[in-house]
Structure 1
């Protein structure tokens, strides 16, 4: 007894596509929730650890590159299927299933993991956080594709239900939406692929340069503020309420600006400002040196330095943990500089002095952390760092 294959049922296939798309959206929401960013701890680096240099976590960058490339390909095919009539729900369903159960699940799993006790971390907190952020962006872009697909297919289901017959394809508005959302997926994927290509070194160098730029912007603003000195006689005139005929309130700058301007009598605060600008410029120089001598020379395959003692083999400072700690400090210094600027604007000399000490203290911790090379040896930077600390303290 032979069994005849089921004849195609467009309405049934369209309904199945709609249900699959909705379930895929739910799954996508779970994926995004699992990658919700958490503050990086940048915890203090221990003097020794039980991590063995011989164990390592499989680098997820290869998985991310593979799945990202596949997603670009699948998205392109999906768009072509949508834009080319007649609508083929079964082909669309297969493509969505491939993306949800294969590509995206693999991508999310690759960036969700963290090194377990006894495993070497090949990514670090900085790269792991950036990967998760960019994968979330990819997921959001793919979600827009699904939303436009669902809207179009639901409209087509209505057409089929009314028995209008001929499939005239997407409207111009739908076409533009599909093309635009496909382009966003491509853009997000390209950014993720570049992140994987640049690796840990490329990312930390880029972030350090960005933080240095922020720091130097704060220095320039402080310098300009210090040059705008309020004349005491002019200040006195404004205090008496002279408005020069400009009305009851006079010049707004005179009312709201005088309180946070340096006066010629604030000699100690002006001296502290000059010292602060000089020291922060030196810290900016440190960023450049760290980028060239330490960040760009970070090993492609970082391994812990080990030694043997009476209790067995223990791993010393883990380079990746040290790098994470360093990046946490480099990120905090521009924030500290902003607080320093606020102290000056408030004419609070004591707070400004304490905040400057904090900024310089963080910089000295950073340079001490990587005073030696990643292999634990003295080099040119070691000698330079000692001179830099000495110059910072006397400036």
Structure 2
């Protein structure tokens, strides 16, 4: 930049270049976050001219943590510079140049370093999603840097999230901080910790489904009949009052009837197991809950015996472990959604759908245990024996 150039014009050029770079990198990491299979022809290398991108000994998660930390710090500087007098274009431009020169491309490089063949596709995509969020929120902040050489007005500074004219710079900075913190927290868990945390979250979802099914199973049609009788008795006691007020409420009821009908449909959508239970739903529910409990134990044992023993940083040497992990994670991710569909089939008392989904769910559980039975090194360990017992029990129903 020429020493005689207009600082405001120079700042606008820096902002424009930064926005172009951030948009390009966002497109790359967003593609990685949504791809179905590993992309061996990564486009990130041409955009991320960083020596670290090809360094197999580097820990991509540590790089992501450090990059997010620096982005957060620089974003804080920018946020303060654009709201405090005097507005200094050269100071803002300096901070943005530092971002462009280091933390921004390094964050994208970290996603590239976390290759599926070393870190698993699961970890790379989870990091890519979080990195993409940082880049998008950074674009929002850069877009709010004044172009007229003046600090932001109170409205542009203080507008809250969801405001008609868009959120202000302070709220935007807060959202960016949150995105950076998310990357830092994820990266800090390391290779083993990130996988373990993911499976623990999936286990929690399964346990939620199990508890909901338990509560539903404890209710019967008799409970509904008792509630209906109670409502009828109250209606008889209040009949005279209802007659007096019915005329006054007529107009209001006509306006709210559609909404009430929707609420009634929602309240009545969950049917309960009839007392005579001709479809043997109760028997199926008991079998499902027993095996669902076993499945949650499989998730728990997977974390303890297979994931936590993994290293914090995966070895640089080639291994079949990441591919095996991706296969396992794929099955473990699929099961909570399928169990959710199974729960809906129970609520609808759909015997054929219950049978079909139970077969799918517990086939997945069996398959997961089969994938996990063999240790990462060697042929057999304590978990192998447990997995075999699990398979016997899951078949029993």
The alpha-carbon deviation at position 271 of structure 1 amounts to 0.6
Match of 2:148, SS state, is: helix
Query: For structure 2, which runs of at least 5 residues remain unmatched after alignment?
Result: 39-54, 159-167, 230-234, 243-256
1:26 equivalenced with 2:20 (yes/no): yes
Measure, in 1, the Cα distance between the counterparts of 2:211 and 2:347: 14
Match of 1:96, SS state, is: helix
Distance change (3 Å), C-alpha of 1:86 and 1:125: same
Query: For structure 1, which runs of at least 5 residues remain unmatched after alignment?
Result: 44-54, 157-168, 239-243, 306-314
Distance change (3 Å), C-alpha of 1:230 and 1:175: closer
The alpha-carbon deviation at position 72 of structure 1 amounts to 2.8
The alpha-carbon deviation at position 323 of structure 1 amounts to 0.9
Distance change (3 Å), C-alpha of 1:114 and 1:337: same
- 1:42-94: CA deviation from partner (whole Å, max 9, x where unpaired): 89xxxxxxxxxxx9575322332332233233223334433443332223223
Asked if the contact 2:61–2:114 (Cα under 8 Å) also holds between the matched residues in 1, the reply is no
Measure, in 2, the Cα distance between the counterparts of 1:288 and 1:361: 18
1:206 equivalenced with 2:202 (yes/no): no
Which 10-residue stretch deviates more, 73-82 or 350-359?
A: 73-82
Measure, in 2, the Cα distance between the counterparts of 1:233 and 1:303: 59
The alpha-carbon deviation at position 264 of structure 1 amounts to 1.4
Asked if the contact 1:60–1:111 (Cα under 8 Å) also holds between the matched residues in 2, the reply is yes
Asked if the contact 1:42–1:325 (Cα under 8 Å) also holds between the matched residues in 2, the reply is no
Name the count of aligned residue pairs.
Answer: 346
Counterpart residue number, 1:121? 117
Match of 1:260, SS state, is: coil
Query: Which protein has greater RCO, CA pairs closer than 8 Å, 6+ apart?
Result: 1
**Which of 9, 13, 23 is the equivalent residue of 2:7?**
13
Which 10-residue stretch deviates more, 72-81 or 337-346?
A: 72-81
Question: Which has more helix, going by share of residues?
Answer: 2
Measure, in 2, the Cα distance between the counterparts of 1:266 and 1:230: 10
1:262 equivalenced with 2:273 (yes/no): yes
Measure, in 2, the Cα distance between the counterparts of 1:141 and 1:174: 16
The alpha-carbon deviation at position 349 of structure 1 amounts to 1.1
Measure, in 2, the Cα distance between the counterparts of 1:357 and 1:105: 47
1:273 equivalenced with 2:285 (yes/no): yes
Counterpart residue number, 1:62? 62
1:220 equivalenced with 2:222 (yes/no): no
TM-score by length of 1: 0.75
TM-score by length of 2: 0.75
Distance change (3 Å), C-alpha of 1:255 and 1:210: closer
- 1:97-117: CA deviation from partner (whole Å, max 9, x where unpaired): 2212432122213314674xx
Measure, in 2, the Cα distance between the counterparts of 1:90 and 1:303: 44
Counterpart residue number, 1:319? 321
Asked if the contact 1:17–1:92 (Cα under 8 Å) also holds between the matched residues in 2, the reply is yes
Match of 2:176, SS state, is: helix
**Which of 120, 135, 139 is the equivalent residue of 1:139?**
135
Counterpart residue number, 1:51? none
